[in-house]
Structure 1
Amino acid sequence: MDLLQALIIAIIEGLTEYLPISSTAHMGFTAALLGMEETEFLKMFQVSIQFGAILSIVVLYWRKFFDFSNFNFYFKLAFAVIPALVLGYLFDDKIEAVLGNQIAISSVLVLGGVVLLFIDKRFKDPKIHDEKEITFKKAITIGFWQCLAMMPGTSRSAASIIGGMTQGLSRKAAAEFSFFLAVPTMLAVTVYSIFVKTWGKGTPTEMKGYEMILQDQDHIILFLIGNIVAFIVALVAVKTFISVLTKYGFKFWGWYRIIIGIGLLIYFYSAK
């Protein structure tokens, strides 16, 4: 992976991490279309640059994250993230095995788009418009919905936002709680991928994520630039998404997923 490829992947991560269109799918498709070799460093890089996207949410909503008088906020996130942490750890190998199956991911992209087309019609009368009104039970329920995103192509954002709307949250409240929930979820995934997970397990080149990053100066530069770019792009993407979602709902994103998914299915089938 060269610098230009790393920049493109980081831009895709920043643009898509908080949109209901699956950042994992888009980074995978981009890497495949660029003809990038599916190395262990590339897979680790795609996960680790989520840290930059995490920081964008903390910066945008810093008053919420650093309001230490509101401990309920932290407790809700802590309980809501537990299902994803447990199931993610248990099914890590199975999830990684699907990451290279672009046809399966494209199919999920299309299916998720169809679901998004009907979300606005199904949940027309929200009762909750602020995070403070979310109960612990509702927070945990949203946390279980987030687990649907373990299938690459689903979108963590889409799963948790839909989960929020099933619990009576408005579009904006569901989206913002999805952002908040992403911070502990993605932070845990990033820390795991860098410091705990052994990449290339069973091969002569197996190593931890941080060992790959520190392996040479180029990897360090790619890691740092990737996170910085993902951070900057995510700042813009989040603000834009909230505005579009509040005004127009999920139809745009649903049709986007369907069109892109069908196009990619045709491409990957013809490339076989």
Structure 2
Amino acid sequence: MDIILLQAILLGIVEGLTEFIPVSSTGHLILLIDLIGFQGPAGQVFEIVIQLGAILAVCWLYRERLVRTVVHIPTDPAARNFIRNIVVAFLPAAVLGALLHDFIKTVLFSPYVVSVALILGGVAIILIEKTVKEPRHHEIEKFSFGLALRIGLAQALAMIPGVSRSGATIMGSLLMRVDRKAATEFSFFLAIPTMLGATVYDLYKNWAVLDVENAMVIAVGFLSAFAAAFVVVRAAVAFISQHGFIPFAIYRIFIGVVMLALLLSQGS
């Protein structure tokens, strides 16, 4: 098998394993791409599109709840509130992502930025875990408009690679006194429009540079990410319920320090 396809499989697996835990899937992809010398499609389109593979795994795993919600929109206020909260929380990242797309891709997609963000994010998780108060919000359907918007603003911090979309969303939710299960599931559901929008936008921006070979590489990574995420999502919820987020914080700091040391040694 062509080496680039093997690299795409590896990157897809890493994406699927890391998308839904607070360790930054984008950060891991940037670091790993730099380490293995992956030469994929231009414009970071590979990294964005394979994230959609992981998101579709969540759609499949939660398909009954999603279908039930959509079917009951005309008759059930709770279903309408669920959809409203997802849309409201999605908007900050959508607006800022469109405005800052080129700056993010050309300036922030750097292994140095990722390494520092992993470390700082790990420290932030530890501090939040030690100061979080008793939760007041337990059901996504009962989130207020303002709460959903504030969580969306927290998610927007993840446009900095290495911050972690799920980490920013979940930690922001905990600070706003959402319980762990609801915070984690809201992060899953919020990922659907967020990553779908990012994928469509990136494909549109980079359509001219894509060819059959690039499409094959993206497809392999996409399927690998779907399979890995399918396995890890349920396990992630169970692990977080029992152990919280401190283990992820320690992992983030360790990886960030190691990568920063490697990058600095290479530059010296």
- The question of a shared fold, defined as TM-score above 0.5 by the shorter chain, is answered with yes
Residue 119 of structure 1 pairs with residue 128 of structure 2: yes
- Higher mean C-alpha deviation, range 221-230 or range 109-118: 221-230
Are the equivalent residues in 2 in contact too, given 1:98–1:152 (CA < 8 A)?
no
Report which of the two has the higher share of helix. 2
Are the equivalent residues in 2 in contact too, given 1:20–1:253 (CA < 8 A)?
yes
What corresponds to 2:247 in structure 1?
Answer: 252
What corresponds to 2:192 in structure 1?
Answer: 183
Q: What is the CA distance between 1:39 and its match in structure 2?
A: 5.4
- Report the residue type matching 1:7 in the other structure: I
Residue 21 of structure 1 pairs with residue 16 of structure 2: no
Instruction: Give the match's secondary structure for 1:49.
Output: helix
Q: What is the CA distance between 1:55 and its match in structure 2?
A: 0.7
Q: What is the CA distance between 1:156 and its match in structure 2?
A: 0.6
What corresponds to 1:139 in structure 2?
Answer: 148
1:166-187 deviations in Å (ceiling 9; x for gaps): 2211111101101111100110
- Higher mean C-alpha deviation, range 128-137 or range 43-52: 128-137
What corresponds to 1:55 in structure 2?
Answer: 56
Q: What is the CA distance between 1:23 and its match in structure 2?
A: 0.7
* CA distance, structure 2, for counterparts of residue 173 and residue 39 of structure 1: 36
Q: What is the CA distance between 1:99 and its match in structure 2?
A: 4.3
5 Å-filtered alignment, 1:104-253, equals 104-195=113-204, 197=205, 199=206, 208=207, 211-213=208-210, 215-216=211-212, 218-253=213-248
Q: What is the CA distance between 1:97 and its match in structure 2?
A: 1.9
Instruction: Give the match's secondary structure for 2:252.
Output: helix
What is the count of residue pairs matched by the alignment?
257
* CA distance, structure 2, for counterparts of residue 128 and residue 60 of structure 1: 24
Runs of at least 4 residues of structure 1 off by over 3 A?
none
Residue 81 of structure 1 pairs with residue 90 of structure 2: yes
* CA distance, structure 2, for counterparts of residue 4 and residue 92 of structure 1: 29
Instruction: Give the match's secondary structure for 2:23.
Output: coil
Q: Which has the higher contact order (CA 8 A, sep 6+)?
A: 2
1:56-92 deviations in Å (ceiling 9; x for gaps): 1111111221122112211211111111100011111
Q: What is the CA distance between 1:37 and its match in structure 2?
A: 3.9
Question: Taking structure 1 as reference, are residues 38 and 102 closer, same or farther at Cα in structure 2, changes over 3 Å only?
Answer: farther
Instruction: Give the match's secondary structure for 1:245.
Output: helix
* CA distance, structure 2, for counterparts of residue 220 and residue 112 of structure 1: 33
* CA distance, structure 1, for counterparts of residue 179 and residue 241 of structure 2: 9
Q: What is the CA distance between 1:120 and its match in structure 2?
A: 1.9
- Unaligned 5+ residue runs, structure 2? 73-78
Residue 46 of structure 1 pairs with residue 34 of structure 2: no
What corresponds to 2:33 in structure 1?
Answer: 31
Instruction: Give the match's secondary structure for 1:91.
Output: helix
Q: What is the CA distance between 1:38 and its match in structure 2?
A: 6.9
- Unaligned 5+ residue runs, structure 1? 200-207
Are the equivalent residues in 1 in contact too, given 2:128–2:175 (CA < 8 A)?
no
Q: What is the CA distance between 1:100 and its match in structure 2?
A: 4.2
TM-score by length of 2: 0.91
1:146-180 deviations in Å (ceiling 9; x for gaps): 01111111001111101111221111110110111
Percent identical pairs in the alignment equals: 39
- Coordinate RMSD, CA, aligned: 1.5
What corresponds to 2:65 in structure 1?
Answer: 64
